[in-house]
Amino acid sequence: MSQIIYSKEVIDHFKNPHNQGVIKNPTAVGEAGNPLCGDMMKLYLKIDKKKIGGKMIDYVKDIKFETLGCAAAIATSSMITDLVKGQPLQVAAKVTKANIAESLGGLPPIKLHCSVLAIEALHDAIKKLNK
Amino acid sequence: MKRIYFDHSATTPIDPEVLRVMLAYLKNDFGNASSLHSFGQAARAGVEAAREEVAKFLSCDPKEIIFTSGATESNNLAILGFVRRARALDPKRKIHVITSAIEHPAVFEVFRELKKEEVEVTYLPVTKSGLVRVGDVKKTIRPETVLVSIMYVNNEIGTIQPIREIGELIKKINASRGKQEKIHFHTDAVQAANFCDCRVDFLGVDMLSLSAHKIYGPKGTGILFLREGTPIYPIIFGGHQERGIRSGTENVAGIVGLGKAVELLNQKAKVKSQNLKIKKLRDKLMREILKKIPDAIFSGDPEKRIPGNASFCFKNVEGESILLMLDMEGIAVSTGSACSSGSLEPSHVLSAMGISPIVSHGSLRVTLGKNNTEEEMRRLLKVFPGIVERLRKMSPIKN
């Protein structure tokens, strides 16, 4: 058994996750499952256009998640919504698992794979947008 | 907020009486039990009194008790020590040993290690309720079989294994073996000591492991019962303590604490009424949880289980999340979820019982002890259904 000690940020997001729930008429829904541990995630995106620097750009107007998993899975889900919400889609697509882990004050090594779940769900949603 | 402890299979709080006797040996009678002077003699007296108490509990000769650093060491000594001695008799011989698929890591990792030493290991399957079948032991034994090691009570699901029946079977087979080498029988009785009959002749075992910290004693102390005449090699070498079988200066305070903890277990009438109280609480807890929480199943055997263990699997919710949310309410429990294991593997015990990883993902173990109260159980029942409901609402899988 290895030690699992969570940062204060992980516990805060686990206790009170941000943007948890569903979007009724989403632009796209991404899904990801982690065959390693059994965790599952669904990410709802609402994409809209806004003017940035004189150009109309696609941006993440709203984002919500549903996750079945451990504290790290829920906290990383919550954190990715924070990192992505309000951002231009192109910026959102570049968020990495390291960004998530850093923003959460680090993750226990055994839990790093949980941040992959969130990234995969986001990429899945973006892929569906482009179809 | 007063914290509530429902994880007695992980460890137990030290009984105040145990702590009191230990302190005397940490403060005043600090001598080395091997020293000849009065300091040493006082320490030796404490160690030997503890040995007699344990012998009384197991109904064996005090000479058959070896003090160790805990049950992990006891299991290593029993299995490695026995098999290596058997190997030394004839380096080329075939050696076959039998264990179960649901042993504690302190046993199954030892057998995994032995595979490197050309030992053939059979892992017996278990029933859906987590029981080893005596018939499977019988079918698996062959002429090269030298050792059977089956746990008395499983640590995750609390099932009581048919140790006495397996002991009888081995005795019969040994009788038919004539002058040929006998099969020896070891049991890890760590989770059984608080609740089950551990007399070694009643069980028919040659070796038995116990740990102090599971019986309201200190961590870092355990015993191996080693039946007179059981051939074994030491695995730790040094100053020849414990008849040369386990070298190292005796952990006197720990041993004395273990002795006191066992003395409390030897008060049979008191233990019996404590266990009745625990069983009543546990039964009510299981009933209420299964009633209040949808899609909950209990794991283990409904009858053959220790009074302190209540284990469940909750569908569409993950065990570590439940554990942490209960912890925020000051309530301590345990889970077998893959997410909480260092290896990200689901519990090997639940898997051996045929429970799929998706279901064991939501496994939870509540283990009660002698100090738990009705009030504590009510507090658990008050917050538990809400926690499961809240987590399920977050899940993408809806019923």
List chain A domain ranges. 8-129
Q: Give pTM, 2 decimals.
A: 0.95
**What three-state secondary structure class fits B68?**
strand
**Residues of B designated as active site:** 339
Partner-chain residue, chosen from B339, B342, B346, that has the shortest CB–CB distance to A39: B339
Q: Do B396 and A66 touch (CB under 8 A)?
A: yes
Q: Is residue A62's pLDDT more than 80?
A: yes
Residue of B339, B340, B343, B388 best to disrupt the A interface, most CBs of A under 10 A: B339
Contact B323, B336 (CB under 8 A): no
Q: Do B318 and A2 touch (CB under 8 A)?
A: no
- The CB-side HSE value for B142 (13 A sphere, CA atoms) comes to 9
For residue B250, the distance in angstroms to the closest alpha carbon of chain A comes to 28
Tell me, what's the pLDDT at B4? 98
- The average pLDDT across A61-75 equals 96
- The average pLDDT across B283-297 equals 96
Tell me, what's the pLDDT at A114? 85
Beta bridge partners of A69: none
Query: Chain B residues within 8 A (CB-CB) of chain A?
Result: 316-318, 320-321, 324, 328, 337-342, 344, 346, 357-358, 361, 394-397
Partner-chain residue, chosen from A1, A14, A39, that has the shortest CB–CB distance to B324: A14
- The average pLDDT across B24-44 equals 96
Strands, sheet with B222-226, edge to edge from the N-terminal-most edge strand: B65-68, B222-226, B207-211, B184-188, B145-149, B95-100, B119-124
For residue A131, the distance in angstroms to the closest alpha carbon of chain B comes to 23
Pairing of the two strands A55-68 and A40-52: antiparallel
Provide φ and ψ at B6, rounded to 5°: -125, 45
Concatenated DSSP letters for B21-37? HHHHHHHT----TT-SS
Q: Is residue A2's pLDDT more than 70?
A: no
Q: Is residue A1's pLDDT more than 50?
A: no
Tell me, what's the pLDDT at A34? 75
Contact B242, B249 (CB under 8 A): no
Degrees (nearest 5) of the Cα angle A121, A123, A124? 60
- The average pLDDT across B145-149 equals 98
Residue of B321, B326, B350, B351 best to disrupt the A interface, most CBs of A under 10 A: B321
Q: How far apart are CA B126 and CA B353, in angstroms?
A: 6
Partner-chain residue, chosen from A66, A69, A110, that has the shortest CB–CB distance to B342: A110
- The average pLDDT across B333-359 equals 87
Q: Is residue B187's pLDDT more than 80?
A: yes
Q: Do A38 and B358 touch (CB under 8 A)?
A: yes
Domains in chain B: ranges and CATH: 16-265 (3.40.640.10), 268-394 (3.90.1150.10)
Dihedral over Cα of A105, A111, A117, A120: its sign: positive
**Residues of A designated as active site:** 37, 114
Predicted confidence (pLDDT) per residue in B215-265, tens digit: 999 999 999 999 999 999 999 999 999 999 999 999 999 999 999 999 999
Partner-chain residue, chosen from B320, B346, B395, that has the shortest CB–CB distance to A70: B320
**In chain A, which residues have their Cβ closer than 8 Å to the Cβ of B317?**
68
CATH architecture of the region A8-129: Alpha-Beta Complex (3.90)
Predicted complex ipTM exceeds 0.90: yes
- The average pLDDT across B346-367 equals 93
